[in-house]
Amino acid sequence: MYVNAWPFDGVSRAGNRQRQRADGRVAFSAALLGGRTRPMRIQESGSMRIRLPKVPGPGIETVLVNTAGGIACGDRFAVAIEAQGGAAVTVATAAAEKVYRSDGPVAELSVSLSAGAGSHLEWLPQETILFDRARLARRLEADMAGDAHLTLFEAVVFGREAHAERIANGFFEDRWRIRRDGRVVYADTLRLDGPIADLLQKPSVAKGARALATLIHLAPDAEARLEAARDILSSGHGCDTAASAWNGILAVRFCAGTVEALRVSVCPFLLAFRGGPLPRVWLS
């Protein structure tokens, strides 16, 4: 059963001006049939597409493609992914997502995830890159059964390194809400508005880092994996990391000066923690 994946009201954020903006939506559902995870429902509209590359094993890998080539001012995107009971689904993106400068309107991205009993659902998009004056509001809502395994990963890079870009002004809001058996077990909101480059310099925000990532893992054994996660992190280089666990949740944070340094820590961690290869699009 899907949670509403498109909550935005469609009102233009540019006043009376009418804009022709990208509006992309994807809904996907998979179920366990005959010992393998198989697609049950695929819906696409606008500039969003979903692809299903062949991968070994009983699970299924999905790749999201934004044919608009990025996210611009006032664009709206919505993704709904469901792993029914016992299914194993990994979701990735075809490339890093670029968020272009805006002259005012906020782009909106809504992600809705549903993990049924005994399922394994992984949300592993590649990094989001914000340009100077980008404006993005991102919402992630997840509903999971008590015995499901849910892994969420998001990385954001502030400014294009090749251009030595500094975000003198922008807006980024990242809101996560996770419910287990209908009860909210994780809620987190990051909101940066105005001179983002200056805000990132604050020790309480990022201490000058410009590439940040978060991994949240929820499973019956999540807390028991804390020390193993810390052991993996201890071998990383060029990235500040931390891990904590509570109430069936494992949280890992990454903080780096460059996207290259971030990936040097993130990719080996994901390989070891997941016990398997990354989605192939991560390596292309």
pLDDT of residue 19: 62
- Establish if 241 belongs to a structural domain: no
Domain assignment of residue 33, given as a range: 23-217
pLDDT of residue 10: 41
- Establish if 234 belongs to a structural domain: no
Which segments in the chain show pLDDT lower than 70?
1-20, 236
- Establish if 46 belongs to a structural domain: yes
Three-state SS sequence of the chain: CCCCCCCCCCCCCCCCCCCCCCEEEEEEEEEEECCEEEEEEEEEECCEEEECCCCCCCCEEEEEEECCCCECCCCEEEEEEEECCCCEEEEEECCCEEECECCCCCEEEEEEEEECCCCEEEECCCCEEECCCEEEEEEEEEEECCCCEEEEEEEEEECCHHHCCCCCCEEEEEEEEEEECCEEEEEEEEEEEECHHHHHHCCCCCCCCCEEEEEEEECCCCHHHHHHHHHHHCCCCCEEEEEEEECCEEEEEEEECCHHHHHHHHHHHHHHHHCCCCCHHHHC
- Establish if 97 belongs to a structural domain: yes
- Establish if 9 belongs to a structural domain: no
pTM of the prediction?
A: 0.91
pLDDT of residue 22: 83
- Establish if 264 belongs to a structural domain: no
- For 105-154, write each residue's pLDDT tens digit: 999 999 999 999 999 999 999 999 999 999 999 999 999 999 999 999 99
pLDDT of residue 18: 58
- Establish if 246 belongs to a structural domain: no
- Establish if 210 belongs to a structural domain: yes
Give how many domains the chain has, as a whole number: 1
